[in-house]
């Protein structure tokens, strides 16, 4: 379904911190299930970066965008990419240069020994890569607060979680709200924009529940975790609120 002008405006206001906490909550719930709205979010991020770089944003919005979105790993990465892309799209005038084939032919004609050296370098690189693959993969740990807890107005709803290629798992500690019912066991549900999967906690106490999520289950995107308390009779009760996070590269 096509987005309305109102939806596009709300996404822009969401990225610039102009919504109330209740309005932010509604937008984030829609982002989990509406593909068109999520695509508009990604488009608006790029547009705001361009407006930021060109000085088109008002002073307050310029400052908020800089201190919030551009301060996240994703924001810094996209900003750097935008600058690099502009350099590629606007090259300075250069005299015509030899083609790659012509350069290679001239090089190996003048330096036949370079072929043997290059071969040795490739073999070393392959060996180093193999050693790196044999090393145990690392994990990253984060603590997430429940969405019903009070937080500062400028704090992002989605916790940014950068998962590098060498990270094998995400260890999450879910802080229980003070009003939440406690259980003798718990169940965690991973929700990626409507696609859910049950997870078994690795540990829990009176204040938090811990769960480990393989990185293979977490491609870049928006996620939420839902928590269920299980009493001694096996009855489940949903703990109000969600635990939001966003996986970035």
The stretch 50-70 carries a mean pLDDT of 88
Q: Residue 92: is its pLDDT beyond 80?
A: no
If one compares 237 and 124, the residue with the highest pLDDT of the two is: 237
Interatomic CA distance for residues 242 and 190, integer angstroms:
10
Q: In the numeric block, which tokens belong to residue 41?
A: 């979010």
Give me the phi and psi of 161, to 5 degrees please.
-125, 100
CB 38 within 8 A of CB 7: no
Domain layout of the chain by residue ranges = 5-88, 100-134, 138-248
pLDDT band at 218 (very low <50, low <70, confident <90, very high): very high
Q: Residue 190: is its pLDDT beyond 70?
A: yes
Indicate the burial class of 66 (C-beta count within 10 angstroms; 0-12, 13-18, 19 or more): middle
Q: Within 10 Å of residue 170's Cβ, how many Cβ atoms? A: 21
- pLDDT per position as a tens digit, 95-121: 566 676 676 666 656 555 555 555 555
If one compares 83 and 226, the residue with the highest pLDDT of the two is: 226
Indicate the burial class of 242 (C-beta count within 10 angstroms; 0-12, 13-18, 19 or more): buried
Interatomic CA distance for residues 106 and 187, integer angstroms:
66
pLDDT band at 158 (very low <50, low <70, confident <90, very high): confident
Compute the mean pLDDT over every residue in the chain, rounded to the nearest whole number. 82
Question: Domain spanning 138-248: which superfamily?
Answer: Immunoglobulins (2.60.40.10)
Q: What is the pLDDT of residue 101?
A: 64
Q: How far is CA 53 from CA 47, 58, 82, 164, in A?
A: 10, 12, 9, 27
The stretch 40-64 carries a mean pLDDT of 90
């Amino acid at each position: 379904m096509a987005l309305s002008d109102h939806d596009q405006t709300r996404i822009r206001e969401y990225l610039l911190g102009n919504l109330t906490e209740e309005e932010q909550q509604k937008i984030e719930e829609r982002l989990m299930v509406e593909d068109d709205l999520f695509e508009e979010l990604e488009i608006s991020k790029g547009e705001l970066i361009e407006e930021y770089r060109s000085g088109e944003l008002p002073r307050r919005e310029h400052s908020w965008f800089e201190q919030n979105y551009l301060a996240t790993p994703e924001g810094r990465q996209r900003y750097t990419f935008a600058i690099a892309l502009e350099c590629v799209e606007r090259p300075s005038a250069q005299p015509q240069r030899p083609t790659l084939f012509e350069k290679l032919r001239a090089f190996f004609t003048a330096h036949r020994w370079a072929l043997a050296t290059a071969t040795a370098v490739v073999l070393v690189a392959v060996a180093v890569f193999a050693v790196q693959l044999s090393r145990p993969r690392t994990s990253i740990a984060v603590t997430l607060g429940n969405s019903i807890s009070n937080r500062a107005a400028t704090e992002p709803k989605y916790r940014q979680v950068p998962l590098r290629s060498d990270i094998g798992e995400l260890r999450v500690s879910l802080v229980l709200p003070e009003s939440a019912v406690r259980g003798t066991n718990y169940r965690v549900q991973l929700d990626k924009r409507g696609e859910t999967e049950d997870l078994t906690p690795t540990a829990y106490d009176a204040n938090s529940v811990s769960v480990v999520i393989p990185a293979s289950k977490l491609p870049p995107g928006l996620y939420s975790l839902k928590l269920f308390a299980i009493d001694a009779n096996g009855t489940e009760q949903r703990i109000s609120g969600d635990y939001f996070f966003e996986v970035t590269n």
